[in-house]
């Protein structure tokens, strides 16, 4: 029996021994390339798995569906010999050394695919496969940053507890291959950031929100700027959309820059 741990969705999946030893290092080969892949219904897609240690000759492919259930699809414990798990169809799911192929794609094939190699089993970060709807066009997001409410925290007497929340909304994009990060004065920030765990479907496109909570004195500091960046993978390249908000002594100036 093998046990694994994943701290959160898309986090590194860790192999656990009988007693997990936090001091054990993780295998740092190049696994699961690229991080995103998508194709249309009926087509064939091939995912790559690369690793540079010849001692790790056992290879496994797993799929994590939207329900978060992890299933092993196929594996090879000897070079050139592979087996496919029930109920998966061996004619549909095939693997060779370093590649995994899914034929005749269906919507049900969507998910996060993991490659694992062993002596012990080590996972990469996964490749997210999306089966595109032929009726939908690949569309990057539009990004809007909303200023904090003037009523937020105004009744708090303790100035240290007074905080303001900026809201970033990315919408009207397809498919849902996005990530969000914030900057304050051109420096990345993670403290106070809360982003939706996944994009949500709204009619035929997706949307996602992220919030940045800062001390009120930071928000009202003259010249301070707050930027929300949304990265979107269109199948060929990563596109970055962003919007920046400037706060000047209680007056708000807006600047939108799209690349």
Domain-located, residue 155: no
Check whether residue 189 and residue 226 sit in a common domain.
yes
Average pLDDT of 20-41?
Answer: 54
Q: What tens digit of pLDDT does each residue of 47-105 get?
A: 888 776 666 777 888 888 877 778 888 888 766 677 888 788 888 888 887 788 999 99
Positive or negative, the CA dihedral 167, 173, 175, 179 is negative
Check whether residue 7 and residue 128 sit in a common domain.
yes
Q: Assess whether pLDDT exceeds 80 at residue 41.
A: yes
Rounded CA gap, 14 and 50, in Å?
18
Q: Which residue segment(s) compose the domain that 251 sits in?
A: 142-150+160-258
Burial of 212 (0-12, 13-18, 19+ CB in 10 A): buried
Q: Based on the structure, what is the number of domains in the chain?
A: 2
Domain-located, residue 176: yes
Check whether residue 113 and residue 91 sit in a common domain.
yes
Rounded CA gap, 141 and 239, in Å?
9
Rounded CA gap, 182 and 164, in Å?
15
Provide the CA 187 distance to its chain's centre, in angstroms: 21
Domain-located, residue 137: no
Check whether residue 10 and residue 121 sit in a common domain.
yes
Check whether residue 128 and residue 179 sit in a common domain.
no
Domain-located, residue 109: yes
CATH number of domain containing 214: 2.60.40.10
Model confidence, pTM: 0.59
């Amino acid at each position: 029996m093998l046990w694994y741990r994943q701290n959160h969705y898309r986090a590194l999946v860790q192999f656990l021994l009988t007693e997990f030893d936090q001091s054990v290092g993780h295998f740092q080969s190049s696994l699961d390339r690229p991080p995103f892949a998508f194709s249309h219904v009926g087509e064939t897609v091939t995912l790559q798995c690369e690793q540079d240690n010849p001692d790790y000759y056992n290879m496994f492919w797993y799929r994590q569906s939207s329900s978060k259930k992890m299933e092993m699809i196929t594996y090879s414990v000897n070079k050139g010999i592979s087996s496919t798990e029930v109920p998966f169809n061996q004619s549909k799911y095939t693997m060779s050394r370093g590649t995994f192929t899914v034929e005749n794609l269906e919507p049900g094939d969507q998910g996060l695919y993991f490659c694992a190699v062993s002596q012990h089993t080590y996972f990469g970060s996964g490749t997210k496969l999306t089966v595109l709807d032929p009726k939908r066009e690949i569309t990057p997001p539009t990004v809007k940053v909303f200023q904090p409410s003037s009523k937020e925290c105004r009744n708090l007497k303790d100035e240290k507890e007074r905080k303001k929340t900026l809201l970033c909304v990315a919408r009207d994009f397809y498919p849902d291959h996005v990530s969000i990060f914030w900057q304050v004065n051109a420096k990345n920030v993670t403290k106070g950031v809360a982003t939706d765990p996944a994009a949500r479907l709204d009619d035929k496109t997706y949307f996602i929100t992220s919030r940045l909570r800062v001390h009120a004195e930071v928000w009202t500091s003259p010249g301070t700027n707050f930027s929300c960046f949304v990265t979107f993978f269109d199948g060929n390249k990563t596109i970055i959309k962003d919007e920046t908000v400037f706060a000047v002594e209680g007056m708000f100036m807006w600047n939108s820059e799209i690349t």
